[in-house]
Amino acid sequence: MSTTRGENLADLVREHSSAVMRYAVATAKRMGLEASELAALEHLQAAGPMTLGRLGERLSMSPGALTALVDRLERKGYVERIPNPKDRRSALVRETEAGLGKSLEHLWPYIEEMREIEGRFSEGERAVIARFLSAATEATHRHAEANRRP
């Protein structure tokens, strides 16, 4: 059976990924941020406080570029560095309460619409979608990690 654009999950995921990237760039501009700065905030929101090294790995950024990015976000009030309770020699980067509030101010309409869309599906359908999205997300992280290496 031949498929046309958008008829299979791989095409739909690719289209969704493109739309998410477009949304992220537009939202970052609206917030007065660079797309990489918004991506850093997304990683911190998803995974919680992390070391500069781990954030750099997730963003595929060099230590120098990442330090400059975190410095900018810190000056804008989005993040702060805090002592790492597991290693006194390092610090963790975390989103501030004010930063989260500023982020949600811009992201909330999208979040609400996504929740409304989710509500249109039965519990069984949501379970299947969640299983697919979890597997797709794991695969995407795996490929991002593999592409980080030369």
The reply to whether 131 falls in a domain is: no
pTM score over 0.85 = no
Q: What is the pLDDT of residues 66-123, one digit of tens each?
A: 999 999 999 999 999 999 999 988 999 999 999 999 999 999 999 999 999 999 999 9
The reply to whether 65 falls in a domain is: yes
Q: Are 42 and 36 in contact (CB under 8 A)?
A: no
Q: What integer pLDDT is reported at residue 145 of this predicted model?
A: 82
The reply to whether 84 falls in a domain is: yes
Helix axes 35-47, 97-118, angle to 10 degrees: 80
Query: Which pLDDT band, with edges at 50, 70 and 90, does 5 fall under?
Result: low
The candidate with the shortest Cα–Cα distance to 41, out of 91, 50, 87, 23, is 50
The reply to whether 123 falls in a domain is: no
Query: Could you tell me which residues are beta bridge partners of residue 80?
Result: 94
The reply to whether 127 falls in a domain is: no
Q: How far is the C-alpha of 119 from the C-alpha of 138, rounded, in Å?
A: 24
The reply to whether 148 falls in a domain is: no
The reply to whether 31 falls in a domain is: yes
Q: How far is the C-alpha of 44 from the C-alpha of 100, rounded, in Å?
A: 10
How many Cβ atoms from other residues are within 10 Å of residue 89's Cβ? 6
Q: What Cα–Cα distance (Å) separates residue 25 from each residue in 1, 11, 29, 84?
A: 37, 21, 6, 31
Look over the chain and give the mean of its residue pLDDT values, rounded to a whole number: 92
- The domain that holds 26 is classified in CATH as 1.10.10.10
The end-to-end CA distance of the chain, in Å, is 38
Q: What is the pLDDT of residues 48-61, one digit of tens each?
A: 999 999 999 999 99
Q: What integer pLDDT is reported at residue 147 of this predicted model?
A: 84
pLDDT at 6 over 80: no
Q: What integer pLDDT is reported at residue 88 of this predicted model?
A: 86
The reply to whether 106 falls in a domain is: yes
Query: Which pLDDT band, with edges at 50, 70 and 90, does 3 fall under?
Result: very low
- Domain residues for the domain of 90 are 9-118
Structural domains in the chain (count): 1
Type of residue at 108: W
